[in-house]
Amino acid sequence: MDSNVRPESMVRITTPELADAFIKEQVEALQKQIGDGKVLLALSGGVDSSVVAALLIKAIGKNLTCVHVNHGLLRKGEPEQVIEVFRNQMNANLVYVDATDRFLDKLAGVSDPEQKRKIIGAEFIAVFEEEAKKIEGVKFLGQGTIYPDILESDGVKAHHNVGGLPEKFGFELVEPVKLLFKDEVRVVGKQLGLPDSMVYRQPFPGPGLGVRCTGAITRDRLEAVRESDAILREEFANAGLQGKVWQYFTIVPDYRSTGVKDGKRLWDWPVVIRAVNTKDAMTATVEEIPWPLLNKITQRILAEVKGVNRVLYDLSPKPCATIEWE
Ligand code: XMP
């Protein structure tokens, strides 16, 4: 039987009890596959890689090494959360690499979106490879492949020009959630004790905030993306919208407009808010954010984010617009 095909008899994991049974079965299977071998895992902090990490920690403990690469394009608080959950709470072997300067130097002056994606993908592999070489005797590579990745090798993800981890390593793959759908991965993650903010996290593209800081990325504009995104997320959470709206974020385009503050004319950036709902990311509709909430977010962004003088709301469905701006 093809191990990449979900058997029709496989029960959909919808309850804590079913998740417990899956965890028990997978831990045993992982122990059998890996024995006393060593596993390496690129841990982004997204739900898929986090669930794989938690399963592997349960199965093989310190024989797993997680590598968390901070490419400088993560959202506010993300690297800190990965370190807190996996190193401090789960006592995992975690290598944290702050490669911000390296990525931003390579991206300096690059404005073509596909070129940006390629640089981020290639640099990610280079950093990961360097870390992999430092660890002796690794035979296995953990991966957060989920069933839609297998089904949709022709779908949305395949169109995004981000390299996968290199086959040239010759590692044997360890993919314990490859037959699960996203909602099942979340039920398993919850049962493994991962925090809700990780388990119910909205999708986040591999190239991160890099595709939301349009054109050539600069550090100050990137900071404006990160800070405005943090305000948006905080206000959505306060309004009870976290987990209800499929994806919401901010974009800071690379053009300025005039403004005025304290009697002085400004030449600053706009922040664009995007909030959409979708089932499969192939089409999307715009969330109807209540006006008072939009107003509150706008006031906060204008008051708290440096270099910004306007806030706009993107009313465009997909199609014609894509969800991301690049
Ligand atoms: P678009 O912008 O194509 O996005 O409507 C559809 C979904 O895919 C996510 N996305 C990406 N995910 N690498 C990823 O892993 C990427 O380069 C990438 N670009 C877009 C996007 O956030 C949305 O959920």
Type and span of the H or E element at 251: strand 247-251
Q: Provide the token pair at 136.
A: 């002796």
Percent of the chain with pLDDT over 70: 95
Summarised one tens digit per residue, pLDDT across range 234-251 is: 999 999 999 899 999 999
pLDDT tens, residue by residue, 54-108: 999 999 999 999 999 999 999 999 999 999 999 999 999 999 999 999 999 999 9
Q: Is 162 in the pocket of ligand 1 (CB under 6 A)?
A: yes
pLDDT score of 168: 65
pLDDT tens digits for range 96-141: 999 999 999 999 999 999 999 999 999 999 999 999 999 999 999 9
Supply the residue whose CA is at minimum distance from atom 14 of ligand 1.
Answer: 205
Residue type, 80: E
- The residues, any chain, with a CB within 8 Å of residue 113's CB and separated by 6 or more, are 211, 214, 326
Q: What average pLDDT does range 39-60 have in this prediction?
A: 97
Whole-angstrom Cα distance, residue 297 to residue 287? 15
Predicted local distance difference test score (pLDDT) of residue 166:
64
pLDDT of residue 162: 46
- CB 318 less than 6 A from any atom of ligand 1: yes
Nearest residue (CA) to ligand 1, atom 20: 205
Q: For 21-37, how does the pLDDT look when each residue is reduced to its tens digit (9 = 90+)?
A: 999 999 999 999 999 99
Whether 205 is in the pocket of ligand 1, judged by its Cβ within 6 Å, is yes
Is 117 close to ligand 1, i.e. is its CB under 6 Å away?
yes
Nearest CA to ligand 1 atom 4: 323
Cβ of residue 149 lying under 6 Å from some atom of ligand 1: no
Half-sphere exposure (Cβ direction) of 150: Cα atoms closer than 13 Å: 17
CA atoms within 13 A on the CB side of 175: 15
Residue 183 pLDDT exceeds 90: yes
- The CA 312 to ligand 1 mean position distance, Å, reads 21
**pTM attached to this predicted model:** 0.94
